[in-house]
Amino acid sequence: MGKRRKKGEGSVRQRKDGRWEGRVVIGYDEKGLPRTKNVLAKTKRECQEKLKQLRETVTGSKTEKVRPEMPFGEWLDFWYQNYVKPQIRPTTQANYEAKIYQHIIPELGKIPLNQLAQKDLQQFYARMKTGGRLIRTEQFGKGLSDSMVRGLHAACRSALEKAVQEGLIRTNPAVGCKLPPKRGREMQVLGREELQRFLIQAQAEGYFELFLLDLCTGLRRGELLALQWDDLDFKTGTLTVNKQVYEVKGRLQVSIPKTRASIRRLVLPPGVVEVLRQYRETVDSRWMFPSPVKEDTPMTPGAVRRRLQIILERAGCKRIRFHDLRHTFATLSLESGMDVKTLSAMLGHVSAATTLDIYTHVTGDMQTEAAAKIDRGLGNKVQESPSQTEQSSAGDFRPVLRKTRKPGTGCITQINDHLFEGRYSPTWPDGTKHSKCVYAHTREECEAKLKTLIREMQAERKLLLDQMRRITPPDKLTKKQKQIWQYLRFHPDETNLSVIARGAGVNRHTVAKWYEMIRGMVGIQKT
């Protein structure tokens, strides 16, 4: 594998005609998309030399001679690439780049840095507020949100402040700009009755364990989805939180939490541990909440968010964010008498002051309740609140049944008035589908038989996986060659290249290239 070139150095590749092509980004168009230039050469070395000359010609001045009269767009790009990007996470990088390259540079990029005035920024914010949205205009309107406009301002202000520090400009024109008001989103929590209906519906949907664990711990969404079975000690009920999952441009990434305080250990209630113990028997993955599509990867944050909204709607609960489940946990904990310091540690807050800031309303209610208890102790009558006198009707709630079953639970079909068929079709380690059926006179009996079948087939699949792990291919093979070797090791009679490619998870061209060699190697292996 070739050495990866650094950011800004461009790329070099060999074309089909044998020539080498070098390409480098020279700027961005009105939509924030990159503009490139290329060079051609007969050899790789010659191409690298031409690319270096092109880069020095086009971009050399912007990095070697930062000057007051340079375009604001060039300074913004230089500031982001050198001062900001190395210090932030990939998700934050995506947010910065959307603001800089899609909005700020197309609008203000050509104005000289030392001529950028406050009125230019103010007019820019006004345009963004009325017609700055590039996508989903029919759904959200043409203008950007107040928070997005404030985010654009924050990027401009930080970049210009750095220009002041470097002596490129005397004052920061972004200071003093009028901005849309900052509106904090109102915190929403589920009431006790809503909570019961929510969990009943979540159980019907097949997501009971996921949401129960979150409501008992207050984990962030990324922390919850990053949990693996090794993180839970069933003997002590201790759950270790030491990683998080997030999405960057549609791809899942796993990393350590943002702060040290986020790395923590939680003790789960015994009832929750027992629920997870039973749930563990149904999961054939190292991830606690695996993807229904790929068992070796966790569920995506987007999939969980969509499922949450479906469950809330079917349970008749108010529409809330996933993060509001964290608020629900914290609110219930404080109302139950948990001290703020303990709650702060469980939530992974850096300090208890953060917890107090967020949940001031809860602590205020607790003080009111404490005063009422004192009043009762003195023999005075205290009027009960509606929430205290209201009878719960959650016991009468009937969940909305899923039209489709949860992946990994098989399917049940009614053949006639007195016969049901249950089918389970897992993907075997070799990539093939294995289907088995059970039959019963009632749906309940069929469900029970199907669960037994699933356990048996999962145990069989696990045994096969263990066998495959014990048989290691030769070290000299590449990763793709090893995949082909593993497949042929268990399917020595298979000769169809397309079938082998599908089972091994590689393309047909790769199989054709190495088929004879690997087949010969497999032939001498002792089974």
Q: Per-residue pLDDT tens for 363-416?
A: 666 666 666 666 565 655 545 444 444 444 566 788 876 666 777 788 888 888
Residue indicated by tokens 């000289």: 112
Question: Is the pLDDT at 277 greater than 80, yes or no?
Answer: yes
| Domain boundaries defined on the chain | 11-27+36-59, 72-165, 192-368, 411-465, 471-523
Decide if 323 contacts 305 (C-beta within 8 A): no
- C-alpha pair distances (Å), 216 with each of 56, 143, 271, 333: 58, 40, 11, 9
Residue 469 token pair: 């792990």
Decide if 422 contacts 447 (C-beta within 8 A): yes
**Mean pLDDT of all residues belonging to the chain:** 83
Predicted pLDDT at 301: 92
Decide if 124 contacts 107 (C-beta within 8 A): yes
Give just the sign of the alpha carbon dihedral 200, 335, 354, 358: positive
Rounded CA-CA distance 316/314 in Å is: 6
User: What CATH class is the domain 72-165?
Assistant: mainly alpha
pLDDT of 420-448, one tens digit each? 889 888 877 666 778 899 999 998 999 99
- Residue 11 makes CB contacts below 8 A (sequence gap 6+) with 5, 22, 23, 24
pLDDT of 94-103, one tens digit each? 889 999 999 9
Quote the longest CA-to-CA distance of the chain.
Answer: 97
Predicted pLDDT at 322: 92
In angstroms, how far is CA 463 from the centroid of its own chain? 32
134 pLDDT tier (thresholds 50, 70, 90):
confident
Predicted pLDDT at 107: 95
For the chain, give the number of residues. Answer: 527
Predicted pLDDT at 394: 60
Predicted pLDDT at 305: 92
Q: What is the mean pLDDT of residues 508-527?
A: 74
pLDDT of 17-56, one tens digit each? 889 998 887 654 444 456 788 889 989 889 888 888 887 6
Question: Is the pLDDT at 333 greater than 70, yes or no?
Answer: yes
Query: Same CATH fold, 192-368 and 72-165?
Result: no
Question: Is the pLDDT at 306 greater than 70, yes or no?
Answer: yes
254 pLDDT tier (thresholds 50, 70, 90):
confident
Classify domain 192-368 at the CATH superfamily level: Intergrase catalytic core (1.10.443.10)
- HEC assignment per residue over 264-328: EEEECCHHHHHHHHHHHCCCCCCECCECCCCCCCECCHHHHHHHHHHHHHHHCCCCCCCHHHHHH
Predicted pLDDT at 462: 78
Predicted pLDDT at 372: 66
More confident of the two residues 412 and 308: 308
Specify burial of residue 205 (Cβ count, 10 A radius: 0-12, 13-18, 19+). buried
Question: Is the pLDDT at 526 greater than 60, yes or no?
Answer: no
CA-based end-to-end distance of the chain: 34
Predicted pLDDT at 62: 44
